[in-house]
Amino acid sequence: MSPGAGSALTFLAAAVHAKAVAEIGTGAGVSGLYLLRGMAADGVLTSVDLEAEHQRLAREAFVAAGFPPQRYRLITGSALDVLPRLIDHGYDLVLIDGDKVEYGEYFDEALRLIRPGGMIIFDNALWHDRVADPSQRDPQTTAIRELISRVRADETLRSVVIPLGDGLLAVQVGS
């Protein structure tokens, strides 16, 4: 995640007064750090990743940045197995940065997890400029393109693609 996109995440987490954030794709904790900086001082980041080794690196990064362990909960597992166990409408913000092919299924889960007025954010909305190029039809590009079309067609949602880094698609769910 680029510093520009990360700053946008910090800003959006602060704008929705995020106390509870769910993240798909912990990675090495870069996006997690940007989210934690914008969240309420007692807010908790719940982050899911398939790879325990990635989460070990993220934990190191959170410790090094001075965030106490009660500020984050790292769950190792496949997002589509873990997300159904998270509480309905219990999250102020959901960040999605896992397997691009599964973005549509993550969106279904995120719509259940998010509280009214909350925000769902997808990283890689531009997907290396492939989404805007109709000749690109690989599964990742197609999944992101279909997601953006679905969001735009739904009049109950407000959305914007923020062209920072590899693009963020931010979706606000009715308040």
Q: Which is nearer to ligand SAM, 8 or 79 (CB)?
A: 79
Question: Helix 103-113 crosses helix 139-153 at what angle (to 10 degrees)?
Answer: 40
Query: For residues 1 and 171, which CB has a smaller minimum distance to ligand SAM in the complex?
Result: 1
> Minimum Å distance from CB 58 to ligand SAM?
7
> By the criterion CB under 6 A, which residues form the site for ligand SAM?
1, 24-25, 27-31, 48-51, 54, 78-79, 97-99, 102
Least CB distance from residue 102 to ligand SAM, whole Å?
A: 6
Q: CB of 86: closest distance to ligand SAM in angstroms?
A: 13
Which residue, 61 or 154, is less far from ligand SAM as judged by CB? 61
Name the nearest CA neighbour of 95 among 153, 157, 154, 38.
38
Separation of CA 101 from chain center: 15
Cβ-Cβ contacts under 8 Å for 129 (sequence gap 6 or more): none
Nearest-angstrom CA–CA distance, 158 and 172: 5
